[in-house]
Structure 1
Amino acid sequence: MERDKKKLSRIGDQEYEPTTSSVKRPKPTASSHQGYDPGSYQMGQASEYTPSPRSSKYTLDSENSSTNALEYVPTAVSKTSIKKALPPPPSRVKWLADASSRVLSPTRVATDQLSVKAHTSTGILSKTTSTTVQKRVAHTPTMKRPVIPADFGAKVPTNVRQRYLNIFIDECLKFCSSEQQAFQMALEEEKVVYDRSSSKNIYLNVAVNTLKKLRKSPAVSVNRKSQSHEGVLGGRLAATTSYTINRSGKQQDVDPKGAILYKKQKKYAMTEEQLQEHGYPRPHPEMSGHAVVHNQPEKKNNDPFSKICCRCGAEYKINANGSCVRKEECSHHWGRLRRNRVPGGWETLYSCCSGAVGSPGCEVCKQHVQDGRKESLDGFVKTFSKPLPVDGNGGVYALDCEMCYTKQGLELTRVTVINSDLKVIYDTFVKPGSRLVDYNTRFSGVTQDDLENTTITLRDVQAVLLSMFSAESILIGHSLESDLFALKLIHSMVVDTAIVFPHRLGLPYKRALRNLMADYLKRIIQDNVGGHDSSEDARACMELMIWKIKEDAKVKR
């Protein structure tokens, strides 16, 4: 190390004077510029940096020794001549700060860098392939979706409302012209669903039905391209490819109709013992035109002028005309009692307002009302036998009625009959025989305007049904005994969906029709704020029994 320092200091103090014959500088040729390779540096005034692939030694320019600057010279000097001309370079060179004569000037360095950059970039670009850069497109701003404000203690959790709001927005965006219009429409739909719901379960049912309505919107169907059934099965090659729809050995499901449907439905008809057990009206053995009810609980109060309100359970007095002696408001819960599992046990709450048993009613009406259908057992008619057609089809019909409260109790206000093809063959409003007290619109769907110009009476309806049905006709309904009491009709060939699809706890519990449709047919019914629709309920009963027959056929296979 000390030897190197002494040698370096000796070189820096004395001038270097090489002989002119020691270095030969041949002119660079075009063929020598094939690539970048470090060349030799020479003392001189030259400021141009020219790469040479075969020069790799340092040379000193003796022609102009006053500058003593290093210069790159593209030479092809042999190794033996360089060794004779120059002393061996030191192993480590330390440039001193005061040796400014051996440092490249700024202008020369800049010029050399430009030259190097020009040559190197040319060599690099020649070996690379050019790529096209895509044009940058500005990001289109999107509107922020609306958010349901948090409301603690609300009847429906906020996260549930927000989830369905987002689903409504996705459906509205498919047919709305702008995002603002889609957001506004989704908010309005969600608000309607929330206002119509009194609990989370009802909200979910109404929201699912609203979602189906949005998906069936005419605007959505217009935007969708129609496609044939063959196109769906065969794809692009449907026109040139043969295929079969059914798998080998698998029978195709066919809706039973006519005599086949009648024969299969007859297996579910109730027996005489079942009719008596479930409280259906049966013909009086001694008095014509009267009915008798078996398995009916005994009355605790034998006073004919003392009644029990069928809504709130309060006792009230009536006069000889059936009117209330005192005007008392009826505060009650219109929902059913439901048991819910809670930490530590069970609790029973009303489905209408989630109120506990014994809590004040959530709805107030003008006066108390009674049922009274099983108390008035006169005026009944019975279907009679008729000759059957050749195929033995006595007819399969679905029946549903709507009732309103009068001063005598529940009376018929609407009746609907559906045939086996799910078509309405009879539907009419009926004028009750007594003064109306409560239209019961929440459940009946009947309003004052519906009955304002109605002139059809119960006797007119009975005449039509007796001509339409025979004793061998099958009537399908849900808890059909209440409808037969309202019609004052005695019939024996009955299929009750409440019996075909029993409650897991048995009698007296019965499953609701809307729950049966949701569980088996995956459909939501009775979600209209305006009340029930008798045609919808009758059609649901017929569809349930047709589905039941198909399922039984699958099991037998």
Structure 2
Amino acid sequence: MFSTVGLFESLPCPEKHNCRRVKCLFNHRPGAKEVHTLHIPVEQPAAPAPPATAPVASSSTSGTQRSQIPAQKAASSVPAKRPLSYAQVSSPNRTKEASNEPPRKLQRTGPPTVATGVPTAAPTSTGCPVLRVSAAHSYAPIPVRQSMLKNLYDHFCVLYKAILPTNPTLASEHSLRQEEEVYKRSNKHTYRNAVISSIAALKRRAFPDSASHASVGTEGDLAARAEAAQKFATLRLTRAQLVPYVLSLDDMRRFGYVVEVPPGEGGAQPADEGAVKTCERCAQPFMVKRKEEADECVYHWGKAFSNKVNGEKRRLYTCCSRPSESEGCERGPHVFYESAPEDLHRRHPFSYSHGRGTDTTLDVVALDCEMVYTTGGMRVARVSVVDAAGKEIFDEFVRMDDGVEVIDFNTRFSGITPELYASARLPLASVRASLDTLIGARTVIIGHALENDLKTLRMIHHCCVDTAVLFPHPSGPPYRRALRTLAKEFLGKTIQSGGGTVGHSSVEDSIATLDLVRWHVLNRPPPPPPKAKAPAPEVIDVDAML
């Protein structure tokens, strides 16, 4: 019988007085406290083993006797485990220390990483991009995807043939994005056919002539643009939407608006025939005369701009690219322009736009005017108004007041010809009366450099939204961006493209200003509230220069 280790001596025997063991492992002393334990088999240290014997041959030949040689055996190093109480065994939240369980391996925390198979290659300028995707992360074989990507790239190159010289990476970028779009919306059974359908759609597109063309982009780009166009077309601006965009009186004064009726008698001197003025074109003094008697002026109709020629900075004209000191490229009569509110009021009186009834006045309109040079300065010759949906509601030519003669129709910019002007029947006073049925004091008027239009209409209005202010020039005031430049950049529309002698269309320009405000409402936050006051800058109209 092996000797005991004594691990159970502190525990009373569960059989108590009925125990029949000769040498019991438990405690039989009187007064021992009974503890309910579970007898869980535990690994006991190995008891000293009897010495192993190995037979060794005896030198005796008679009566072979084998001597016993004890063999060495390493003792077990496994420590004994303590018995667990019932509470420890039955507790679901027992600790590892109590259960003597070995610690688990550390596991990575956080959401599992999902392999999407989206290509990570960057577009190249020399050819088709190469996919860098693990085969295990792609449901479609990588060689198949690379082949499909190559087909997309080849067809994008054919489509963008006219614009690739100026945009060499465009085909590579769009083929990579197109393959990614197809991969995300397909599976291993539909992937190949989906790419083939995309290629067929590429073949049906019109060949673009610029990077801003409607057919440039992936299928996702075209769908997003179509959705934006639908949202844009259905947006009907309301007065409540435009309240944050309305210029404050301080801003109106800053940008040259007339906000109150100037002093003096309005309309006291409609024309200034016979007076000496400074020519608006050549900056030379001249005497104001009618067209048939006017002196000839040689001038540049474009604006001067700075340019470097052979490393030398020179001033050139936009009309003919000649130096600023060169002789003019255009001939016509001397003309003059007045901007002081008192002078304008003396030619024709200013008045407020009160409206003539709430039934016909509109909440939002867009307005544009075309002007001509007269013996009374620059005067309005055409007025166009569209409603909040872009529908034309007013378009009239304006006959000059009595005593005012047209010197130059300025057809290059105004689009007014002698034939068109001959159809004018209403003078400015009658046109203003007609506008009062559409425009009330609370009507929001949208325009580009709107203060010029209101000045020539002799209209004082305090609810104005000006796209020249919403889309400021990078150099800040007094510079302004041209309307056709804004329309091209933000709307993708080409306006005022009639050529050097056709001029603008006031209906087209008013629709463009309305669409620019629509775009701003949909894509940009409202302008911040006005800050500290600033002195009124001298306005430089660069509309014809850009």
The higher relative CO (CA closer than 8 Å, separation ≥ 6) is in: 2
Higher helix proportion (structure 1 or 2): 1
Bigger CA radius of gyration: 1
Structure 1 length as normaliser, TM-score? 0.48
TM-score, normalised relative to structure 2: 0.49
